């Protein structure tokens, strides 16, 4: 079983990160990653080794956007519930997404469905599935880590950015003690952030987000419906939010 996370850039002009987890010995292991994927074709090339066999893919991007303007019901619900934690998202609509170059999430989901993936969450714990789901790291982090507010590590000046990334990284290392656990490779444990270029810091940020998206997808697969909430539906769009299980 594989769980894949994709931190999808809204424009192909910006890099996309993806991380692959492999289920082994009752835990998730990081198998592969990339933080410099550009076009949709490059993303699909990275995902191609996992196009057959059991796999769940969590994508941090809108996958179903029927509304030309305004926002989706699932986005409004998340904003009302998680806004006090500063974890609400943007109002998503087709016109706004086209201003970034297109509806990349929808296009990627459609390509994966052509490979035989279904756009639905796991129907049972550890089901043998090939599924793609929409995930949202900020509210997922609030729930799984019991945070009062999100950890700020995006769009900051250099000093606060590095401090925020270090805090986010330390928080993610705690997944080793979750159920199911995620084992981090040594290369991920001790990042050298000071002195790095802004491009390198952004790549590390995207890679961490993609790893968390992969874990959220793998968490939903492991626990099944008791381990997640489906906010929304296949008609108007939905987001999977994990439920914390001790």
Q: Dihedral (C-alpha) 112, 116, 122, 124: value to the nearest 10 degrees?
A: -170
Rounded CA-CA distance 1/53 in Å is 8
More confident residue, 101 or 144: 144
Measured between alpha carbons, how far apart are the two ends of the chain, in Å? 23
Q: For the chain, give every domain's residue range.
A: 2-242
pLDDT > 90: percent of the chain: 82
Which SS3 state, helix, strand or coil, does residue 112 take?
helix
Q: How many CA atoms lie within 13 A of 56 on its CB side?
A: 30
Average pLDDT over residues 66-74: 96
What pLDDT, in 10s, does the model give residues 174-187?
A: 999 999 999 999 98
Tell me, what's the pLDDT at 162? 87
> Tell me, what DSSP letter sits at residue 195?
T
Beta-bridge mates of residue 59: 6, 134
What pLDDT, in 10s, does the model give residues 148-162?
A: 999 988 876 788 888
Tell me, what's the pLDDT at 141? 97
pLDDT > 70: percent of the chain: 98
> Looking at the predicted structure, is the pLDDT value of residue 105 above 80?
yes
pTM for this one? 0.96
What pLDDT, in 10s, does the model give residues 26-43?
A: 999 999 999 999 999 999
Binned at pLDDT 50, 70 and 90, residue 100 comes out as confident
Tell me, what's the pLDDT at 70? 95
Q: Could you tell me which residues come within 8 angstroms of residue 151 by beta carbon, excluding any fewer than 6 positions away?
A: 141, 164, 167, 168, 171
């Amino acid at each position: 079983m594989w769980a894949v996370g994709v931190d999808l850039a809204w424009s192909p002009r910006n890099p996309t990160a993806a991380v692959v987890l492999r289920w082994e010995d009752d835990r998730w292991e990081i198998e592969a990653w990339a933080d410099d994927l550009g076009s949709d074709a490059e993303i699909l090339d990275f995902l191609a080794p996992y196009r057959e066999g059991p796999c769940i893919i969590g994508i941090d991007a809108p996958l179903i956007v029927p509304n030309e303007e305004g926002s989706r019901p699932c986005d409004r619900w998340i904003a009302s519930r998680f806004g006090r934690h500063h974890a609400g998202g943007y109002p998503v609509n087709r016109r706004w997404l086209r201003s970034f170059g297109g509806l990349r999430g929808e296009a990627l989901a459609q390509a994966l469905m052509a490979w035989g993936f279904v756009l639905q969450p796991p129907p049972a714990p550890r089901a043998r599935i090939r599924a793609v789901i929409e995930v949202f790291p900020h509210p997922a982090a609030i729930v799984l880590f019991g945070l009062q507010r999100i950890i700020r590590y995006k769009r900051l000046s250099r000093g606060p950015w590095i401090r925020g990334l270090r805090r986010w990284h330390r928080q993610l290392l705690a997944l080793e003690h979750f159920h199911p656990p995620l084992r981090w490779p040594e290369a991920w444990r001790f990042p050298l952030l000071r002195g790095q270029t802004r491009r390198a810091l952004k790549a590390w940020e995207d890679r961490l987000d993609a790893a968390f998206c992969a874990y959220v997808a793998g968490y939903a697969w492991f626990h099944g419906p008791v381990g997640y909430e489906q906010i929304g539906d296949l008609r108007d769009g939905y987001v999977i939010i994990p439920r914390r299980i001790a």
